[in-house]
Amino acid sequence: MRFIRLTNILRAMVIAAFAFVLNTPTSVQAQGQDIASRIDSLFGWTKSQEPGCACGISNAGKTIFTRGYGLTDITGNVSLNENTQFDIGSSHKQFVAATVLLLAEEKKLSLSDDIHKYVPELPDYGYKITIDHLLSHTSGIRDWTALLPLSGGDTDVFTLILRQKGLNFKPGESWSYSNSGYVLLKEIVSRVSKMPFGDFLGSRVFEPVGMRSSVHSVSMRDTGMHRAIAYEKKGNEFKVSMRTDNNRGGGGILSTVNDLLLWNEALRTGKLGKNVTSKLREPARLNNGRKLHYARGLFVEPYRGSIPMVAHSGGAAGFSTWLGRFPDHDISIAVLCNVEPTSATGIAYSLADIFLPEDRSQVIEGEGPPPAVPDTLNIGSKIGLYISDEGAPLEIALERGFLRIVNGPGLVVLTDKKFRRWGAALAYRSQDAFTIDFTSPTRFELKSMEGKTTNYTPAKNVDYTAAQMKEYLGTYESSEIGTSFIVEPAEDGLQLSLLHTPEKTLRFETAGADMFHWKKRMFIRFQRDRNGRIVALDYTNPVLSKVAFRRTVQN
C-alpha cells in the first residue's frame, strides 16, 4: 500500500479547502470531486516497496496537498514524504542566483562587473564577461559536463573551467545552458561574502525563508533517515545511481517538498526583498535586444502558450526534480523523484493541468509536431546534412511526414524552397524565429529574426586517396581538456580514440574538405599551416564549439 499521509478527516479537509478556493477570485479551477484521487492516479506506476516520488501543491501560500509514493531507500522501510531530502539537481540554480542578487543589493558586487574582478585566474577570453552573463547562461563559457567525459573524468571541475581558453560564442550573442557559470557564481559568492557558499546560503536564504530541512551538502555521500537514495531501474532490478561530488554547478543542495513550497511562497511575497524577487524572474536579453525565456536561475515561459510559468527542473543521476509556480493563478508545485527513468517535469505538468483552466481552444505553435509536408511539394532533395560557411552543422530531416531540424525545432513548409521554424526553442538558436530560404538546389540562407544571414551548403562525401588519408594520422593534444585524440585512417573515414581509453573508438565519416563527422553529432575540422601541413583540429558537438587540439605526434 502506498504511503498516505492523509486520514479520512484530513482528506475531507483537503477537499473542503479546494471547495473554498474554487469560490475565491484566485480560483484553482480544478475539475472533479476527489482531487486527491486524481493526483494519486498520476503516481499509479509507483509501488510501496520501491523508490518513487514525493509531491506538493500550494495555492496562495497555503499547502493544499502533499504526499509520498514509495521508499527513501529500498534496503529500509522508510516511506517518502514531504520532509524527505532529495538532491534537487539544477533546480538549485535559483538559490545560487538569489545569493548573488542579495550581494548586489548590498552593493558588494554589481551584475555588470567583469567576472575577472572576482576570479582573476580565469583566462582572458578577449571579451568582457559579466556576472549577469553567468546568471543568464549567455556567457559563452563551455559547460563542464560536456568537457569532463573527454578529460577522463578525474579532473577537478573548477580547474577544468580555468583551462578553457575559448568560448562557444561572444558573450551576450547567444544562449547556451552552462553549469560552468554556476560553479563560478558559487565561487564568487564565497569570495565576496568571505564565507563558504553553503554558510552564506544557509544564513541569508534558508533561515529567513524557514527552510529548516535544506542544506548545501559538502559531502553528497552523507546519508540519513530522511535522505532519499536515488536508483536506476533496469528491468526488475534497482541500482544505486548517485552523484557523490559537490563541485558541480548542477547540484549540491538537498531539500524537501515542504521547504521548496516555502521557497516559492517567499518568491510570491517578496520575502527576500522585492528587488531580488523581480530580478529572479526578469527575462534576459541578448545583445541584439531579443528577450529570452530565461531569467536568472529560472525559466520564465508560457505554459500551454499563454499561462505564465516560472520554473526550473533538475536532474542528478537517479534524482529528478521540478519546482515551479504559475503566478497568475497562485499555484506552486514541487515534484521530487528518486528513480530513473522518471520525468518529474512531465508529472508536474499533469498536476498543473488538474488545477489550471482547461481552455485548449488556442492552437499553440511549437506544441506537438508542425504541419505535415504537403503532398504536392517535393522536398526530398532538401533533406540532409549542411555545413555553414563558419563550419557549423545543421541537419534537415523528414520524420513521420513532418520536417524538422535534428536536435532542433520543427519546420513549417511555406514553399518547396522556403521554410520557417515551428515554435520558439530556447536551446536552439536562442528562440530565433528564423527562416530557411534555398537560393539554389545546393545552398540555403538561414535568416534570423533580426535579419542576420548565414549561408549553408551540403556536407560532401569526399573521396580521399590512401595517401591523403594518411596526412591526418597522428596524436592531437588539448591543453584545455588535458587529453589527446589518436587519429588513424579507417575504411571510408577516420578512426578516433582518446589517449586514456584507446580501446573505445569512433568512426568518423567525411563531411567536406578536412572535415569529418560521427553520426552527424560530433565534428572535427583539421587546420593546416601556410605550407598545407595539418597542425591541429577543432572539435565540435551540440554543446561545445571548436575545442582546439594541437598535433603533437605524426605517427
Q: How many helices (H) and strands (E) are present in the chain, helices listed first?
A: 13, 28
Q: Give CA 216 to chain center in angstroms.
A: 21
C-alpha cell at 379: 522536398
Evaluate whether 354 touches 340 at the Cβ level (below 8 Å): no
Digitized pLDDT (tens) for each residue of the chain, 555 residues in all: 333 333 333 333 333 333 333 334 344 444 444 889 999 999 999 999 999 999 999 999 999 999 999 999 999 889 999 999 999 999 999 999 999 999 999 999 999 999 999 999 999 999 999 999 999 999 999 999 899 888 876 678 899 999 999 999 999 999 999 999 999 999 999 999 999 999 999 999 999 999 999 999 866 666 666 899 999 999 889 999 987 765 554 458 999 999 999 999 999 999 999 999 999 999 999 999 999 999 999 999 999 888 999 999 999 899 999 999 999 999 999 999 999 999 999 999 999 999 998 765 565 676 778 888 988 888 888 999 999 988 889 999 999 899 999 989 999 999 999 999 998 889 889 999 999 999 998 899 999 999 999 999 999 889 999 999 999 999 999 999 999 999 999 988 999 999 888 888 999 999 999 999 999 999 999 999 999 999 999 999 988 999 999 999 876
- Distance between CA 480 and CA 160 in Å, rounded? 7
CA-based max dimension of the chain: 84
Domains of the chain: 89-355 (3.40.710.10), 380-458 (2.40.128), 466-553 (2.40.128.50)
Angle between helices 35-42 and 8-22 in degrees, nearest 10: 110
Q: Annotate 156-201 with DSSP letters as a single string.
A: -HHHHHHH----SS-TTS-----HHHHHHHHHHHHHHHTS-HHHHH
Q: Which residues are CB-contacts of 149 (< 8 A; sequence separation ≥ 6)?
A: none
C-alpha cell at 392: 557549423
- Distance between CA 482 and CA 160 in Å, rounded? 8
- 3-state SS assignment for residue 31: coil
C-alpha cell at 215: 542544506
Q: Annotate 458-493 with DSSP letters as a single string.
A: E-------HHHHHTT-EEEEETTTTEEEEEEEETTE
Closest C-alpha to 328, from 20, 26, 21, 23: 26
